Amino acid sequence: MTMRSSSETASLLDGLRAFIEPAHLRTDADSCLQYGRDWTRLYSPNPLAVALPGSIEQVQQLVIFANHHRLALVPSGGRTGLSGAAVACNGELVVSLERMNRILEFDPVDRSVTCQAGTITEALQNFARDQGLSYPVDFASRGSSQIGGNIATNAGGIKVVRYGLTRDWVTGLKVITGRGDRLDLNRGLIKNASGYDLRHLFVGSEGTLGIIVEATLQLTRPLREPSVMVLGVPNLSGIMAIYGLLRSKLDLSAFEFFSELALRHVLKKGPHRPFDSATPYYVLAEFENPGDIQTDEALELFEHCAEQGWLADGVISQSGNQAKELWRLREDISESIAEHQPYKNDIAVRISRVPALLEEIDGLLAREYPDFEVLWYGHIGDGNLHINILKPATMEPAIFAKKCGAVSPHLFAALQRHGGSISAEHGVGLTKKPYLHYTRDESEVNYLRAIKQAFDPNGIMNPGKLFD
């Protein structure tokens, strides 16, 4: 939080080694680089060190120590975030929960599982599958994201249209607050009307109130033989018409969209074009289809949409493997464009207002970014759109970010007019902090500050994120 002399730094590290094993307190350059940043790549990491506690007790000792020495802490999960919330660039101590990665308890009656915060999302999904159940919150970073980070950012992903957000599956949390107190919140209860539910304050808190160390999560039955359709759509207005019709007739579990420009980057990496013709936009719809009982209905809907001019072509999966290949067209987008260091916006609006917002923003981006490649994709079935502006190879990252950032006020002003949010699922962190007022008014932000003060009076928990 302040500049330290070498002797002060050495004293802090010696104090930490009193309860964190030296092997789990890293100061080497590679570790500081790896653990000090997330996927944004917009900030230069500069942590004091990286601590990897192995127990709740060690996490609590860390927070108490940090309060005593006014040492800022940055909680770290899989660091797959895109808002800079897990970045340590001002001499903070990174607290990685990756060693705390065990699944602790499974209750088949409650259909619940308790796990440590460092549990990898995919590991939890696989565990649930082995029990004949499902943890349905899903996204492309499932193989590296961690449950604690998912909760701290209220992660959404590709199945929100059916299953909701991470918040909807959290029935209990153990946390160490910024004061160093250990709280056991809600204890896995489905019903609990005994006052304020502090659990929900930590969901989406981005590590600013404390450190999530353990979670109890609901499970559900798995999807029954899902089928996947990819449809080529000539214009944006047709997307929501298709969504309205499919949702009324099929048991949708996902409704995603992406642009032809986004698809081209994916096709360079291996998957095949879903059908011969190219269209400006595509939608991917997944629906339950046990025994192919909804296949005829889906084909009839396809025919109707084609007659209305809403779609130009399409394909429906004939097997589980083909469904997985079709999903790659959507899920591989982020990885396929990573080399272009995209400037990302993750916005949300009520579903009914998506067409009007899309039309306005599409025109804005075409005017403001005539020389940049702009890709659209997102979870359009829940009103969540991702805008990715790709950096030209010859442009310096700082200049590119400045040019993109200059348009953000216009983008967010449009979003504000449509009653939307500057961040749907990636959080605020550092990247969206200057624009929080487009979503939250001054009174709201003052309440957020008061909550922060109550849980973290010394301001040691992820300072500088969400708000200053």
In the chain, % helix, strand, coil (3-state, to 5) comes to: 40, 20, 40
- Residue 40: its pLDDT value, please? 83
Q: What is the arithmetic mean of pLDDT over 391-420?
A: 92
Residue 98 near residue 104 (C-beta atoms within 8 A): no
> Tens of pLDDT along 353-395?
888 898 898 889 889 888 899 998 999 899 999 999 999 999 9
Identify whether residues 294 and 230 lie together within a single domain: yes
Structural domain contains residue 141: yes
pLDDT classification of 424: cutoffs 50, 70, 90:
very high
Residue 177 near residue 419 (C-beta atoms within 8 A): no
- Residue 250: its pLDDT value, please? 95
| Most confidently predicted of 1-10, 40-49, 413-422 | 413-422
Residue 250 near residue 294 (C-beta atoms within 8 A): yes
- Residue 2: its pLDDT value, please? 58
Identify whether residues 327 and 353 lie together within a single domain: no
Identify whether residues 235 and 157 lie together within a single domain: no
The whole-angstrom separation of Cα 180 and Cα 260 is 50
Identify whether residues 409 and 313 lie together within a single domain: no
Q: What is the arithmetic mean of pLDDT over 157-186?
A: 96
The whole-angstrom separation of Cα 153 and Cα 170 is 13
Q: How many domains does the chain have?
A: 4
Q: In whole angstroms, how far apart are CA 412 and each of 68, 248, 312, 431?
A: 40, 32, 32, 13
pLDDT classification of 41: cutoffs 50, 70, 90:
confident
Q: What are phi and psi of 446, to 5 degrees?
A: -65, -40
The whole-angstrom separation of Cα 386 and Cα 380 is 9
The whole-angstrom separation of Cα 392 and Cα 394 is 6
Identify whether residues 293 and 376 lie together within a single domain: no
Tokens of 343: 């400037």
Q: What is the arithmetic mean of pLDDT over 266-285?
A: 94
What type of residue sits at position 419?
Answer: G
Residue 388 near residue 397 (C-beta atoms within 8 A): no
Identify whether residues 30 and 122 lie together within a single domain: no
Identify whether residues 204 and 242 lie together within a single domain: no
Identify whether residues 214 and 231 lie together within a single domain: no
Identify whether residues 191 and 240 lie together within a single domain: no
pTM of structure: 0.93
Identify whether residues 31 and 75 lie together within a single domain: yes
Residue 397 scores a pLDDT above 90: no
Identify whether residues 18 and 64 lie together within a single domain: yes
Residue 180 near residue 95 (C-beta atoms within 8 A): no
Identify whether residues 420 and 326 lie together within a single domain: no
Q: What is the arithmetic mean of pLDDT over 338-365?
A: 89
Percent of the chain with pLDDT over 90: 85
Q: What is the arithmetic mean of pLDDT over 233-242?
A: 90
Residue 3 scores a pLDDT above 80: no
Structural domain contains residue 133: yes
Mean of per-residue pLDDT scores for the chain: 94
Q: Which domain holds residue 42?
A: 6-97
Q: Domain containing 15 — which CATH number? A: 3.30.43.10
Q: 3-state class of 25 per DSSP?
A: strand
- DSSP annotation of 462: S
Structural domain contains residue 127: yes
Q: 3-state class of 426 per DSSP?
A: coil
> Tens of pLDDT along 127-168?
999 999 999 999 889 999 999 999 999 999 899 999 999 999
> Tens of pLDDT along 60-117?
999 999 999 999 999 999 999 889 999 999 999 999 999 999 999 999 999 999 999 9
73: left (phi over 0), alpha (psi -120 to 50) or beta: beta
- Residue 355: its pLDDT value, please? 83
Structural domain contains residue 449: no
Structural domain contains residue 160: yes
Residue 84 near residue 430 (C-beta atoms within 8 A): yes
The whole-angstrom separation of Cα 78 and Cα 121 is 10
Q: Is the Cα dihedral 93, 94, 99, 103 positive or negative?
A: positive
Q: Domain containing 148 — which CATH number? A: 3.30.465.10
pLDDT classification of 204: cutoffs 50, 70, 90:
very high
Q: In whole angstroms, how far apart are CA 1 and each of 45, 53, 358, 428?
A: 14, 21, 41, 20
